[in-house]
Amino acid sequence: MDLQGICHEVTKIARETGDFIRKERLSFSPERVESKGLHNYVTHVDKKAENMLVDALGGLISGAGFVAEEGTGEKNREGTNWIIDPLDGTTNFIHSLPPYSISIALMIEGKVVLGIVYEINLAECFYSWQGAPAYLNEKEISVSDARFVKDSLIATGFPYTDFKRMGPFLESFKYFMKNSHGLRRLGSAAVDLAYVACGRFDAFYEYGLNAWDVAAGAFLVRQAGGNVSDFTGGDDFLFSGELVASNQNVFDQFQSAVQKFMRPD
């Protein structure tokens, strides 16, 4: 399979869909927002963008299925699936607040082999494929060289439906506020991970995530020389809902700190 060629086509599809989302934002009305649950919103833009992605990606690999946030398309249980979030950061989009992004990953037999995150407001396309470096708009990128958590800028995301671990999460906040360069919450996990991949952030952690939020971004971090795991240091981060990512220098220290608070047992 020509993953490089496919990646090139997917970046074009992401940019075209991003153009649609950008234009829709100019005339968007909050009255058209729908609720999928507590603090979980969807718009006609999410749905239309997902349809655009499924239609375009469906022509690239015959028989590939889809794991998509809004449920468009069907999962191919035989092994080749696109994992897509048509608009990661919908709440930001609703309020005209950057960033928001498109996240696309290709998984073959349980392994992600291609990932793209397109941040729409800055027109920044982060991408890579198996066996290649990670890129931002055709320029090779890598994770930061920070050596300690105390020297790191950390990104996270706030839970919006699962509040059962709010206590330990807030304790982790206190620790990292005192023992790092600070914390940031942008509102798009895909962008957070892309920023770890290019060194803008040194580390990231969050719980309550879905595969379409993180599949592409986690792949980019690894392709850019970083590490990714679940809170216990294992590989079950794609579907477990929890993820830690950083450069290799600080990973052990950072993951251990996150585990101490979020998985104390």
pLDDT digits (tens, 9 = 90+) for 139-160: 999 999 999 999 999 999 988 7
Q: Which pLDDT value is given to residue 68?
A: 87
| Average pLDDT over every residue of 11-31 | 91
| Average pLDDT over every residue of 181-188 | 97
Q: What is the DSSP letter of 32?
A: G
Q: Which pLDDT value is given to residue 20?
A: 96
Q: Which pLDDT value is given to residue 71?
A: 75
SS3 state at 154: strand
Domains and CATH numbers, the chain: 3-141 (3.30.540.10), 149-262 (3.40.190.80)
| Average pLDDT over every residue of 70-93 | 86
Average pLDDT value over all residues in the chain: 93
Confidence class for position 37, pLDDT limits 50, 70, 90: low
Cis peptide before 99 (omega within 30 of 0): yes
Give yes or no for a contact between 151 and 245, defined as CB atoms under 8 angstroms apart: no
| Average pLDDT over every residue of 240-248 | 96
**Assigned token pair, 244:** 């830690």
Query: What's the CA dihedral at 57, 59, 65, 71 to 10 degrees?
Result: 50
Q: Which pLDDT value is given to residue 227?
A: 98
Give yes or no for a contact between 65 and 75, defined as CB atoms under 8 angstroms apart: yes
Q: How many CB atoms lie within 10 A of CB 78?
A: 10
H or E element in which residue 118 lies: strand 111-119
The span from the CA of 121 to the CA of 103, in Å, is 14
H or E element in which residue 222 lies: helix 211-223
Give yes or no for a contact between 72 and 46, defined as CB atoms under 8 angstroms apart: no
H or E element in which residue 129 lies: strand 124-129
Q: Which pLDDT value is given to residue 36?
A: 56
Q: Which pLDDT value is given to residue 165?
A: 83
Confidence class for position 41, pLDDT limits 50, 70, 90: low
